[in-house]
Protein backbone atom coordinates (compact mmCIF):
# COMPACT_ATOMS: atom_id res chain seq x y z
CA UNK A 1 0.00 0.00 0.00
CA UNK A 2 2.74 2.38 0.91
CA UNK A 3 4.44 1.70 -2.38
CA UNK A 4 1.35 2.48 -4.38
CA UNK A 5 0.39 5.61 -2.51
CA UNK A 6 3.82 7.14 -2.72
CA UNK A 7 4.19 6.06 -6.31
CA UNK A 8 1.23 8.30 -6.99
CA UNK A 9 2.68 11.15 -5.02
CA UNK A 10 6.06 10.94 -6.65
CA UNK A 11 4.53 11.23 -10.11
CA UNK A 12 5.22 14.94 -10.20
CA UNK A 13 8.97 14.63 -10.45
CA UNK A 14 10.81 17.64 -11.62
CA UNK A 15 8.23 20.14 -10.60
CA UNK A 16 9.28 21.99 -7.48
CA UNK A 17 7.68 24.77 -5.51
CA UNK A 18 10.34 27.07 -6.93
CA UNK A 19 8.72 26.60 -10.33
CA UNK A 20 5.28 27.41 -8.99
CA UNK A 21 6.46 30.50 -7.14
CA UNK A 22 8.30 31.74 -10.21
CA UNK A 23 5.37 31.08 -12.48
CA UNK A 24 3.00 32.98 -10.22
CA UNK A 25 5.22 36.04 -10.26
CA UNK A 26 5.69 35.82 -14.02
CA UNK A 27 1.93 35.56 -14.46
CA UNK A 28 1.39 38.53 -12.18
CA UNK A 29 3.96 40.68 -13.91
CA UNK A 30 3.20 39.55 -17.44
CA UNK A 31 6.86 40.09 -18.10
CA UNK A 32 9.71 37.70 -17.45
CA UNK A 33 12.35 40.36 -16.93
CA UNK A 34 10.41 42.26 -14.28
CA UNK A 35 9.41 39.00 -12.64
CA UNK A 36 13.07 38.01 -12.43
CA UNK A 37 13.84 41.29 -10.69
CA UNK A 38 11.10 40.67 -8.17
CA UNK A 39 12.40 37.16 -7.58
CA UNK A 40 15.93 38.47 -7.13
CA UNK A 41 17.34 36.35 -9.89
CA UNK A 42 18.41 37.26 -13.40
CA UNK A 43 16.21 36.80 -16.41
CA UNK A 44 17.77 33.75 -18.13
CA UNK A 45 17.32 31.27 -15.27
CA UNK A 46 13.74 32.38 -14.90
CA UNK A 47 13.12 31.82 -18.59
CA UNK A 48 14.60 28.38 -18.13
CA UNK A 49 12.42 27.59 -15.14
CA UNK A 50 9.30 28.41 -17.08
CA UNK A 51 10.51 26.27 -19.96
CA UNK A 52 11.14 23.40 -17.57
CA UNK A 53 7.66 23.78 -16.19
CA UNK A 54 6.11 23.77 -19.65
CA UNK A 55 8.26 20.81 -20.58
CA UNK A 56 7.29 18.91 -17.45
CA UNK A 57 3.60 19.56 -17.94
CA UNK A 58 3.76 19.14 -21.68
CA UNK A 59 1.65 22.24 -22.05
CA UNK A 60 2.31 25.75 -23.24
CA UNK A 61 1.60 28.11 -20.36
CA UNK A 62 2.69 31.42 -21.82
CA UNK A 63 2.30 33.20 -25.11
CA UNK A 64 5.32 35.33 -25.84
CA UNK A 65 4.30 38.75 -27.09
CA UNK A 66 6.49 41.69 -28.07
CA UNK A 67 5.75 43.44 -24.80
CA UNK A 68 5.92 40.47 -22.47
CA UNK A 69 3.98 37.29 -21.96
CA UNK A 70 0.30 36.40 -21.83
CA UNK A 71 -1.22 33.40 -20.14
CA UNK A 72 -2.77 30.64 -22.20
CA UNK A 73 -5.98 29.10 -20.93
CA UNK A 74 -3.94 26.26 -19.46
CA UNK A 75 -1.58 28.81 -17.95
CA UNK A 76 -4.43 30.65 -16.34
CA UNK A 77 -5.72 27.43 -14.82
CA UNK A 78 -2.29 26.41 -13.64
CA UNK A 79 -1.71 29.81 -12.09
CA UNK A 80 -4.81 29.38 -9.94
CA UNK A 81 -3.75 25.92 -8.93
CA UNK A 82 -0.25 27.12 -8.15
CA UNK A 83 -1.58 29.91 -5.96
CA UNK A 84 -3.68 27.42 -4.06
CA UNK A 85 -0.75 25.09 -3.59
CA UNK A 86 1.61 27.80 -2.42
CA UNK A 87 -0.85 29.15 0.06
CA UNK A 88 -1.50 25.61 1.28
CA UNK A 89 2.20 25.12 1.85
CA UNK A 90 2.22 28.31 3.84
CA UNK A 91 -0.74 27.22 5.88
CA UNK A 92 0.74 23.78 6.44
CA UNK A 93 3.92 25.40 7.64
CA UNK A 94 2.10 27.68 10.05
CA UNK A 95 -0.18 24.98 11.35
CA UNK A 96 2.75 22.67 11.91
CA UNK A 97 4.60 25.39 13.77
CA UNK A 98 1.58 25.99 15.95
CA UNK A 99 1.24 22.27 16.52
CA UNK A 100 4.91 22.24 17.53
CA UNK A 101 4.19 24.94 20.09
CA UNK A 102 1.23 22.99 21.40
CA UNK A 103 -1.21 25.58 20.15
CA UNK A 104 -2.96 23.25 17.78
CA UNK A 105 -3.94 19.69 18.24
CA UNK A 106 -6.06 17.39 20.32
CA UNK A 107 -5.97 16.25 23.88
CA UNK A 108 -7.83 13.23 25.15
CA UNK A 109 -8.31 13.62 28.86
CA UNK A 110 -9.83 11.19 31.31
CA UNK A 111 -11.72 12.50 34.30
CA UNK A 112 -13.34 10.81 37.21
CA UNK A 113 -16.33 11.44 39.44
CA UNK A 114 -15.60 14.04 42.08
CA UNK A 115 -12.65 15.69 40.33
CA UNK A 116 -15.02 17.14 37.80
CA UNK A 117 -16.87 19.12 40.43
CA UNK A 118 -14.60 22.12 40.68
CA UNK A 119 -10.95 22.10 39.74
CA UNK A 120 -10.95 20.27 36.45
CA UNK A 121 -13.53 22.46 34.76
CA UNK A 122 -11.71 25.59 35.90
CA UNK A 123 -8.42 24.21 34.67
CA UNK A 124 -9.85 23.22 31.32
CA UNK A 125 -11.43 26.64 30.94
CA UNK A 126 -8.11 28.34 31.59
CA UNK A 127 -6.38 26.11 29.10
CA UNK A 128 -8.96 26.68 26.43
CA UNK A 129 -8.56 30.41 26.86
CA UNK A 130 -4.83 30.23 26.16
CA UNK A 131 -5.02 27.50 23.51
CA UNK A 132 -8.33 27.91 21.72
CA UNK A 133 -7.33 25.67 18.82
CA UNK A 134 -6.63 22.61 20.91
CA UNK A 135 -9.54 20.28 20.81
CA UNK A 136 -10.20 18.60 24.14
CA UNK A 137 -12.08 15.33 24.35
CA UNK A 138 -13.17 14.24 27.81
CA UNK A 139 -13.58 10.63 28.80
CA UNK A 140 -14.99 9.42 32.08
CA UNK A 141 -12.80 6.64 33.43
CA UNK A 142 -11.96 5.14 36.74
CA UNK A 143 -8.36 5.09 37.84
CA UNK A 144 -7.40 1.66 36.53
CA UNK A 145 -9.00 2.38 33.19
CA UNK A 146 -7.12 5.67 32.98
CA UNK A 147 -3.78 3.98 33.46
CA UNK A 148 -4.56 1.33 30.90
CA UNK A 149 -5.81 3.94 28.43
CA UNK A 150 -2.67 6.02 28.97
CA UNK A 151 -0.48 3.03 28.23
CA UNK A 152 -2.48 2.25 25.13
CA UNK A 153 -2.19 5.90 24.08
CA UNK A 154 -5.95 6.26 23.91
CA UNK A 155 -5.68 9.27 26.22
CA UNK A 156 -2.98 11.87 26.86
CA UNK A 157 -3.75 12.64 30.48
CA UNK A 158 -6.04 11.68 33.33
CA UNK A 159 -7.11 13.17 36.62
CA UNK A 160 -7.22 11.19 39.77
CA UNK A 161 -6.43 11.01 43.45
CA UNK A 162 -4.19 8.75 45.49
CA UNK A 163 -2.11 7.30 42.74
CA UNK A 164 0.28 4.45 43.12
CA UNK A 165 3.78 5.30 41.93
CA UNK A 166 4.48 3.78 38.55
CA UNK A 167 7.63 3.96 36.44
CA UNK A 168 6.02 4.92 33.14
CA UNK A 169 3.35 7.26 34.51
CA UNK A 170 4.28 10.73 35.69
CA UNK A 171 2.12 12.93 37.90
CA UNK A 172 1.50 16.61 38.29
CA UNK A 173 -0.12 17.84 41.49
CA UNK A 174 -3.16 20.02 40.87
CA UNK A 175 -4.36 20.80 44.35
CA UNK A 176 -4.45 19.50 47.88
CA UNK A 177 -7.84 19.56 49.53
CA UNK A 178 -8.99 19.37 53.10
CA UNK A 179 -11.54 16.74 53.94
CA UNK A 180 -15.05 17.81 54.81
CA UNK A 181 -17.83 15.97 56.50
CA UNK A 182 -21.04 15.77 54.48
CA UNK A 183 -23.89 15.48 56.95
CA UNK A 184 -27.66 15.65 56.86
CA UNK A 185 -28.93 18.93 58.31
CA UNK A 186 -31.43 17.04 60.52
CA UNK A 187 -28.56 15.66 62.55
CA UNK A 188 -27.68 17.55 65.76
CA UNK A 189 -23.98 17.71 64.77
CA UNK A 190 -24.94 19.75 61.71
CA UNK A 191 -25.41 22.78 63.95
CA UNK A 192 -21.73 22.97 64.90
CA UNK A 193 -19.23 25.01 62.85
CA UNK A 194 -16.64 22.28 62.91
CA UNK A 195 -16.92 18.67 63.85
CA UNK A 196 -14.35 16.54 65.61
CA UNK A 197 -13.88 13.34 63.72
CA UNK A 198 -14.43 11.25 66.83
CA UNK A 199 -17.99 12.57 66.93
CA UNK A 200 -18.98 10.45 63.97
CA UNK A 201 -17.68 7.22 65.38
CA UNK A 202 -21.20 6.06 66.03
CA UNK A 203 -22.84 7.51 62.90
CA UNK A 204 -23.09 5.21 59.89
CA UNK A 205 -20.43 6.19 57.32
CA UNK A 206 -20.85 6.03 53.57
CA UNK A 207 -17.67 4.88 51.85
CA UNK A 208 -16.50 5.35 48.25
CA UNK A 209 -15.22 4.51 45.75
CA UNK A 210 -15.03 0.81 45.20
CA UNK A 211 -12.09 -0.22 43.06
CA UNK A 212 -8.35 -0.85 43.06
CA UNK A 213 -6.10 0.35 45.86
CA UNK A 214 -4.98 2.87 46.81
CA UNK A 215 -8.25 4.76 46.73
CA UNK A 216 -10.22 7.34 48.62
CA UNK A 217 -12.14 4.65 50.52
CA UNK A 218 -8.89 3.45 52.01
CA UNK A 219 -7.94 7.03 52.78
CA UNK A 220 -11.18 7.58 54.65
CA UNK A 221 -10.69 4.49 56.79
CA UNK A 222 -7.11 5.49 57.59
CA UNK A 223 -8.15 8.96 58.72
CA UNK A 224 -10.72 7.43 61.08
CA UNK A 225 -8.19 4.97 62.38
CA UNK A 226 -5.70 7.79 63.00
CA UNK A 227 -8.39 9.54 65.00
CA UNK A 228 -8.73 6.44 67.14
CA UNK A 229 -11.91 4.75 65.99
CA UNK A 230 -13.25 2.29 63.48
CA UNK A 231 -16.28 3.65 61.65
CA UNK A 232 -19.63 1.95 61.29
CA UNK A 233 -19.97 1.38 57.55
CA UNK A 234 -23.43 2.25 56.30
CA UNK A 235 -22.93 1.65 52.62
CA UNK A 236 -20.23 1.46 49.98
CA UNK A 237 -20.85 3.28 46.70
CA UNK A 238 -18.98 3.96 43.48
CA UNK A 239 -18.51 7.70 43.56
CA UNK A 240 -18.75 10.86 45.60
CA UNK A 241 -21.93 12.12 44.00
CA UNK A 242 -23.81 8.95 44.93
CA UNK A 243 -22.39 9.10 48.44
CA UNK A 244 -23.59 12.67 48.94
CA UNK A 245 -26.98 11.74 47.52
CA UNK A 246 -27.21 9.09 50.24
CA UNK A 247 -26.26 11.67 52.82
CA UNK A 248 -29.16 13.78 51.55
CA UNK A 249 -31.47 10.84 52.10
CA UNK A 250 -30.29 10.35 55.65
CA UNK A 251 -28.28 7.15 55.18
CA UNK A 252 -25.43 8.52 57.18
CA UNK A 253 -22.43 10.84 56.83
CA UNK A 254 -19.61 10.86 54.32
CA UNK A 255 -16.07 12.16 54.31
CA UNK A 256 -15.50 14.01 51.05
CA UNK A 257 -12.86 16.21 49.46
CA UNK A 258 -13.38 19.93 49.92
CA UNK A 259 -14.18 20.48 46.26
CA UNK A 260 -17.22 18.24 46.50
CA UNK A 261 -18.89 20.96 48.56
CA UNK A 262 -19.77 22.83 45.38
CA UNK A 263 -22.39 20.13 44.98
CA UNK A 264 -25.44 21.33 46.86
CA UNK A 265 -28.20 18.87 47.57
CA UNK A 266 -31.21 19.47 49.82
CA UNK A 267 -30.48 18.72 53.50
CA UNK A 268 -26.77 18.24 52.89
CA UNK A 269 -24.31 20.50 54.70
CA UNK A 270 -20.53 20.32 54.59
CA UNK A 271 -18.56 20.85 57.77
CA UNK A 272 -14.80 21.15 58.25
CA UNK A 273 -13.16 18.72 60.63
CA UNK A 274 -12.27 20.04 64.06
CA UNK A 275 -8.58 19.59 64.66
CA UNK A 276 -8.00 17.45 61.61
CA UNK A 277 -5.34 14.78 62.07
CA UNK A 278 -2.27 14.95 59.83
CA UNK A 279 -3.10 13.26 56.55
CA UNK A 280 -6.67 14.48 56.57
CA UNK A 281 -6.27 15.87 53.15
CA UNK A 282 -6.23 14.46 49.66
CA UNK A 283 -4.44 15.35 46.45
CA UNK A 284 -5.88 15.82 43.00
CA UNK A 285 -3.24 14.96 40.43
CA UNK A 286 -2.90 14.82 36.71
CA UNK A 287 -1.27 11.71 35.31
CA UNK A 288 0.37 11.29 31.92
CA UNK A 289 2.90 9.12 30.15
CA UNK A 290 6.33 9.99 31.51
CA UNK A 291 7.93 9.98 28.05
CA UNK A 292 5.14 11.64 26.08
CA UNK A 293 6.79 14.31 23.91
CA UNK A 294 3.55 15.97 22.79
CA UNK A 295 3.90 19.75 22.88
CA UNK A 296 0.18 20.04 23.44
CA UNK A 297 0.50 17.94 26.57
CA UNK A 298 3.48 20.01 27.62
CA UNK A 299 1.41 23.14 27.30
CA UNK A 300 -1.40 21.52 29.23
CA UNK A 301 0.91 20.52 32.09
CA UNK A 302 2.21 24.06 32.26
CA UNK A 303 -1.36 25.22 32.55
CA UNK A 304 -1.79 22.72 35.40
CA UNK A 305 1.19 24.16 37.24
CA UNK A 306 -0.05 27.68 36.68
CA UNK A 307 -3.43 26.69 38.10
CA UNK A 308 -1.84 25.09 41.14
CA UNK A 309 0.42 28.06 41.85
CA UNK A 310 -2.54 30.34 41.46
CA UNK A 311 -4.78 28.63 44.02
CA UNK A 312 -2.17 27.48 46.53
CA UNK A 313 -1.64 30.92 48.10
CA UNK A 314 -5.41 31.41 48.39
Interacting residues toward DNA by CB under 7 A: 16, 18, 31-34, 40-45, 47-52, 64, 66-69
Q: With CB under 8 A as the rule, give the number of residues binding a second copy.
A: 56
Check if the beta carbon of residue 241 is closer than 8 Å to that of residue 209.
Answer: no
Calculate the alpha carbon distances from 245 to 134, 197, 254 in Å. Answer: 35, 21, 10
Peptide linkage before 198 cis (omega within 30 of 0): no
Cβ proximity to a second copy, 6 vs 42, nearer residue: 6
Q: DSSP of 166-234, one letter per residue?
A: -SSEEEEEEEEEEEEEEEETTSGGGGSSSEEGGGGTTSEEEE---SSSS-HHHHHHHHHHHTT--PEEE
Q: H helices within the chain, ranges in order?
A: 2-9, 17-29, 32-38, 43-57, 73-100, 119-130, 143-151, 216-226, 240-248, 295-311
Cβ proximity to a second copy, 99 vs 265, nearer residue: 99
Would you give the DSSP letter of residue 163?
P
Closest to 27 measured CA to CA, from 14, 46, 40, 10:
46
* 61 interacts with a second copy by CB under 8 A: yes
Element (H, E) at 239: none
Cβ proximity to a second copy, 97 vs 275, nearer residue: 97
First to last CA, the chain: 58
* 237 interacts with a second copy by CB under 8 A: no
Q: How far is the CB of 160 from DNA (least distance, A)?
A: 28
- Which of 33, 74, 176, 289 touches a second copy by CB under 8 A? 74
* 84 interacts with a second copy by CB under 8 A: yes
* 17 interacts with a second copy by CB under 8 A: yes
In this structure, the chain runs to a length of 314
CA 66 to mean position of chain CA atoms: 61
- What does 52 bind: a second copy, DNA, none (CB cut-off 5 to 8 Å by kind)? DNA
Q: How far is the CB of 83 from DNA (least distance, A)?
A: 20
- What does 140 bind: a second copy, DNA, none (CB cut-off 5 to 8 Å by kind)? none
- What does 32 bind: a second copy, DNA, none (CB cut-off 5 to 8 Å by kind)? DNA
* 212 interacts with a second copy by CB under 8 A: no
* 276 interacts with a second copy by CB under 8 A: no
* 290 interacts with a second copy by CB under 8 A: no
Closest to 116 measured CA to CA, from 299, 240, 276, 298:
240
* 57 interacts with a second copy by CB under 8 A: yes
- Which of 41, 45, 63, 140 touches a second copy by CB under 8 A? 63
Q: How far is the CB of 59 from a second copy (least distance, A)?
A: 3
Q: How far is the CB of 279 from a second copy (least distance, A)?
A: 39
Q: How far is the CB of 92 from DNA (least distance, A)?
A: 19
The contact set with a second copy (CB under 8 A) reads 2-3, 5-6, 8-12, 15-18, 21, 24-25, 28-29, 38, 56-61, 63, 72-74, 77-78, 81-93, 95-97, 99-101, 104-105, 293-296
Amino acid sequence: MTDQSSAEIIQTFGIELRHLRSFIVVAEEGNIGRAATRLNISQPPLTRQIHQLEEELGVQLLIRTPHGVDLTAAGELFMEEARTICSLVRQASERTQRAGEGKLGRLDIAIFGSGILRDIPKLLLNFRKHYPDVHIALHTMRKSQQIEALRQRRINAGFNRLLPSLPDIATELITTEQLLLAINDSHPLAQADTIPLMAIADIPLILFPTGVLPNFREKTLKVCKDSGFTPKIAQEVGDAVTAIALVASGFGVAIVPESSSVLTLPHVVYKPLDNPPPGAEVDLTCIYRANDPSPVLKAFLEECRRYRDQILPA
